[in-house]
């Protein structure tokens, strides 16, 4: 059966396979290590999956921000989209670890608990050199940095410059990566990590709650902090981190071109420059094919966006966040790959229906309640 193409169904059709690719990457190394080693030395499907996610976020997040037209509504929506399931997954991971069923990152016990909690709940832990409660949440740190920069551009009315930003970031990634091959925010800089996390959270709060010039200043400060964290704090190296940020802006450039606010030539330059500058960002022969394939598949899905998709593709996309967050926990609980998949997909559907969907509905209601009522023209006497 095929599903009639909704306006953004093609994005869900990308999210599902991307989540499964990351899932299979980790499951392959867990259950079929010898077989997966042969696959992984040719193409890193985990990298492919996360870069597809980054391109999708780049396309949809600025569109969501501009559709709302309100920074408080945007941050409220993001909080209720991500935090409820993230908190539930964190609690489940800690319970399983307490029961001895799940090994956690040993560095979690080496850093002060308040710093680790703040880093993980702000979703900035990867850029603050803090350990993650769930390993795959490192990608959320780059998503947060992207949100911060997008909000700053929106507040200063510079959001239309996404293609140029993608190209500049891609070109800057190479010399920055050579000059800063390792994270500057290193070691056990607990005070630095705490101050940076608090500063980001404060900037978000001010952006959501303040008005006028104070809101714009807070948004700009948040954007600068997000950019600085990517440049100075990327654990995989500055080159990789900046390419990730450039990838998201390349996705935005495609959205801008589709809307007619920039030329297709500018968008094409962005989506060409980013993989061209990123293929050597990691000394791994499987990295470059994964990066190039992610851009190619995103482009193909965009070209087919008016077509009908098999029902299971958008359906998997809807539960992709649950698939992504829960699969590292189940890897340690189930004995083989078929059982792992048989449990993971129904469990993800359950958490989507019980946690994600209700939280998103609540976030939409709160956002709507915060908006001022539409102004009415003054009544005139007769």
If pLDDT is split at 50, 70 and 90, which confidence band does 148 have? very high
**380 or 285, which is more confident?**
285
Determine phi and psi for 2, rounding to 5 degrees. Answer: -115, 145
Q: What mean pLDDT value characterizes the chain?
A: 92
Q: pLDDT per residue over 57-106, tens digit each? A: 999 999 989 888 899 999 999 999 999 999 999 999 999 999 999 999 99
pLDDT of residue 112: 92
pLDDT of residue 377: 43
**Model pTM score:** 0.93
- Specify the residue for token string 């009908």: 308
pLDDT of residue 180: 84
Q: pLDDT per residue over 160-200, tens digit each? A: 999 999 999 999 999 999 988 777 776 668 899 999 999 99
pLDDT of residue 183: 74
Q: Are 317 and 309 in contact (CB under 8 A)?
A: no
Q: Are 188 and 114 in contact (CB under 8 A)?
A: no
Give the residue-averaged pLDDT of 229-250.
96
pLDDT of residue 208: 93
Q: pLDDT per residue over 325-356, tens digit each? A: 999 999 999 999 999 999 999 999 999 999 99
If pLDDT is split at 50, 70 and 90, which confidence band does 7 have? low
pLDDT of residue 156: 96
Q: From 159, 134, 18, 27, select the one nearest 82 (Cα to Cα).
A: 134
Percent of the chain exceeding pLDDT 70 equals 94
Distance (Å, whole) CA 346 – CA 342 = 7
Element (H, E) at 344: helix 337-351
């Amino acid at each position: 059966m095929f599903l009639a193409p909704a306006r953004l169904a093609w994005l869900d059709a990308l999210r599902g396979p991307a989540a499964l690719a990351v899932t299979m990457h980790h499951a392959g190394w867990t259950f079929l290590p010898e077989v997966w080693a042969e696959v992984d030395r040719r193409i890193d499907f985990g990298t492919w999956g996360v870069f597809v996610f980054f391109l999708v976020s780049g396309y949809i997040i600025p569109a969501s921000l501009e559709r709302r037209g309100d920074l408080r509504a945007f941050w409220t929506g993001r909080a209720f989209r991500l935090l409820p399931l993230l908190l539930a997954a964190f609690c489940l991971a800690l319970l399983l670890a307490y029961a001895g069923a799940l090994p956690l990152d040993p560095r979690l016990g080496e850093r002060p608990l308040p710093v680790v909690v703040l880093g993980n709940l702000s979703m900035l832990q990867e850029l603050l050199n803090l350990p993650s409660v769930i390993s795959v949440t490192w990608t959320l740190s780059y998503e947060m940095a992207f949100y911060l920069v997008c909000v700053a551009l929106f507040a200063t009315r510079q959001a239309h410059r996404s293609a140029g930003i993608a190209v500049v970031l891609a070109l800057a990634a190479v010399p920055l990566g050579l000059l800063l091959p390792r994270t500057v925010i290193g070691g056990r800089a607990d005070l630095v990590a705490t101050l940076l996390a608090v500063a980001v959270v404060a900037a978000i709060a001010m952006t959501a709650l303040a008005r006028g010039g104070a809101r714009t200043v807070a948004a700009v400060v948040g954007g600068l902090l997000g950019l600085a964290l990517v440049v100075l704090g990327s654990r995989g190296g500055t080159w990789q981190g900046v390419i990730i940020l450039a990838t998201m802006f390349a996705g935005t450039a495609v959205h801008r071109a589709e809307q007619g606010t920039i030329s297709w030539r500018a968008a094409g330059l962005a989506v060409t420059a980013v993989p061209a500058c990123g293929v050597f960002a990691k000394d791994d022969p499987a990295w470059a094919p994964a990066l190039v394939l992610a851009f190619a598949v995103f482009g193909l899905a965009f070209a087919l966006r008016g077509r009908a998709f098999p029902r299971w593709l958008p359906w998997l996309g809807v539960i992709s966040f649950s698939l992504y967050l829960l699969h590292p926990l189940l890897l340690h609980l189930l004995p083989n790959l078929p059982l792992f998949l048989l449990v993971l997909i129904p469990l993800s559907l359950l958490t989507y229906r019980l946690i994600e969907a209700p939280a998103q509905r609540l976030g939409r209601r709160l956002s709507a309640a915060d908006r001022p009522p539409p102004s009415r023209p003054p009544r005139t006497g007769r």
